[in-house]
Structure 1
Amino acid sequence: MIASTELIAAAADRLRVAGETRTAAAPVRELVGATDLDAAYAVQREVIGARVASGARVVGAKIGLTAPAVQLQFGVFQPDFGMLLDDMIYGHREPVPYARFLQPRAEGEIAFVLGRDIDKPGATVADVLRATDFVLPAVEIVDSRIANWDLTITDTVADNASSGAVVLGVTPVSPTGLDLARVGMVLERDGEPVSFGAGHACSGSPVVAVTWLARELARRGQPLRAGEVIMSGALGPMVPISAKGTFRLRLGGLGEVDAVIEEESA
């Protein structure tokens, strides 16, 4: 099916209401189809545009569905992207209110912070490394406005790649000389290891994932800009967040970061 402007608007409105009311909605593939990525990204642009019109600011982007373990969890076998807004970003040990989410899950990632624009449609891994100012350990809290995580690729794309929040570490590390494919990952929940992984699980290397994103966004006229934070994708399986607690991410050579989930907003 080819989604009309009216169907795209209806899908965006469904996701907006779900987010505002914290009430999960039916899949939007009912409106835009299960395979039309252009329609799904059009929905995403409407959702983000409404947030920006209300005062939010785009501060970066995220890549989803890069790790085979996560692809298997959802039966979706290609990457996607979403936008990061300023009110989605938290720092190490800064309280994150559980109440802002519907059905959250945590995953460990490497965040890239850019020092230069990447606006070439044919960007290479060298361009990405040259443009990266530093990297940080980061916990992404993914979330879905779609009931029961019942997703196809168009559902998650339309829903801003199932974005929730990001918790960034506070000690920058230069990527120079680092083999990010070999970085080991352990994610703990209240001291208990719950997810394991490595950089190579993210499209072979997180640098390769960010290169894909740079090309895709440049092709769509939304190039990555200096100062933006780029979440490069999960290094291992995501784990559910069911109550308050602390998720500690440990990355070999990159340090650690704590995502502190609180029942009430601080």
Structure 2
Amino acid sequence: MEASAVRAAADLLQGAYRSRTPIAPLIDEYPDADVTDAYRIQQEQVRRWNEAGDPVKGHKVGLASAAMQRQMGVDQPDYGHLLGGMFHLEHQPIPAQRFLQPRIEPEIAFVLGRRLSGPGVTVADAIQAVDFVLPALEIVDSRISDWRISIVDTIADNASSGGVILGSKPTSLTAVDLRLAGCTLHYGGDLVATGAGGAVLGSPVNALVWLANTVGPLGIDLEPGHVVLPGSMTRAVPVRPGDAVVADIAGLGSVTAVFDREGRP
């Protein structure tokens, strides 16, 4: 894609944010776009957000589980940026009208204590870089109408990022086997999904390694203090104003997201 087309595609996505109206799939407008082009579109948006005063506070791996790949109709992971404005407090009302087509999913969040710089990052490097883990809920959202996303669409749309809710109980990696950590997701008091850490590329740590080695050649390091979301342990569940969602992850505790009943922005 020409640089002008990259900027135009970013304009379309950012227009969807402003208007609260989803757009047609980008792949329809740019049928020759590939994954490299999609990341250029993502980076153009990140540049604009940073210039507007919203800093990068971490990264996410999307579509890391077979369940999420089947649900979204794609066949590979992707990554996106977590901006400061995406983080919401547990138990505090989240303005639902900020989102267009929100869904929520449970994750194990890594908080880094050391920089990870790929390529060449190993599992041992990744484990050494993690300060602690937290239970988390990620709000995924799409600026593409009806979630009709190709891999190009979701990558360009910052990996369908929407929001993050972190639990408040830090846990050392030595205290839990993330592969075997089971998860339950309750929506309005009802059990709606179950999963385990092993659903995320075999282990959430593998997703952290994949991310560091994927973004490293692009000149992106994972910085101390940054949050990394490695991917969902279950399918994503749609949410609406007034909903309450609780994820309980064995060995890590629970995290709760509550959406504003009025949906005020």
Q: TM-score range, shorter-chain basis? A: over 0.9
Match of 1:150 among 125, 148, 151: 148
Tell me which residue corresponds to 2:196: 198
Distance 1:149 1:243 in 2: 19
| Counterparts of residues 91-110 of structure 1 (less than 5 Å) | 91-110=89-108
Give, in whole Å, the separation in 2 of the partners of 1:70 and 1:34: 25
Q: Where does residue 214 of structure 2 map in the other structure? A: 216
Q: Check conservation: 2:175, 2:251, Cα contact below 8 A.
A: no
Q: Supply the AA of the counterpart residue of 1:229.
A: V
Aligned: 1:122 with 2:120: yes
Runs of 4+ in 1 over 6 A off after TM superposition: none
Say what the alpha-carbon RMSD is for the aligned residues. Answer: 1.2
Alignment partners' CA distance in 2, 1:39 and 1:57: 23
User: What secondary structure, in the 3-state scheme, does the structure 2 residue paired with 1:176 have?
Assistant: helix
In structure 2, what is the equivalent of residue 23 of structure 1?
A: 21
Given the alignment, which residue of 67, 70, 77 partners 1:69?
67
Distance in 2 (alpha carbons) for counterparts of 1:26 and 1:34: 16
**Which residue in 1 is equivalent to 2:5?**
7
Aligned residue number for residue 234 of structure 1: 232
Corresponding residue for 2:169?
171
Which secondary structure state, in structure 2, belongs to the residue aligned with residue 218 of structure 1? helix
CA distance in 2, matches of 1:49, 1:37: 18
Instruction: Tell me the alpha carbon deviations over residues 51-109 of structure 1, each in whole angstroms, 9 at most, x when there is no partner.
Output: 11111011000010011111111110100000000010112212211000000001000
- Deviation per CA, 1:148-206: give whole Å up to 9, x if none: 00000000000000000000000100111421010101111111111111101100000
Residue-pair matches, total: 264
Q: Indicate if the aligned counterparts of 2:241 and 2:263 stay in contact, CA closer than 8 A.
A: no
Q: Look up the match of 1:37.
A: 35
Distance of aligned partners of 1:7 and 1:35 in 2 relative to their CA distance in 1, 3 Å threshold: closer
Structure 2 unaligned residues grouped into runs of 5+ = none
Alignment check: 8 A CA contact 1:34 1:153 kept: no
8 Å CA contact 2:6–2:40 kept in 1: the answer is: yes
- Give, in whole Å, the separation in 2 of the partners of 1:34 and 1:71: 22
Amino acid in structure 1 at the alignment position of 2:41? V
Kept in 2, the 8 Å contact 1:36–1:154? The answer is: yes
SS at match of 1:244: coil
Q: Provide the residue aligned with 2:259 in structure 1.
A: 261
Which of residues 129, 148, 156 is equivalent to 1:131? 129
Could you tell me whether the CA contact under 8 Å between 1:34 and 1:152 is conserved in 2?
no
> Normalized against structure 1, the TM-score is what?
0.96
Shift of 1:211: 0.6
Q: CA deviation at 1:265?
A: 4.2
TM-superposed deviation, 1:28: 1.1
TM-score, normalised by the number of residues in structure 2: 0.97
Instruction: Answer yes or no: is the 8 Å Cα contact 2:245–2:257 preserved in 1.
Output: yes
How many percent identity over aligned positions?
45
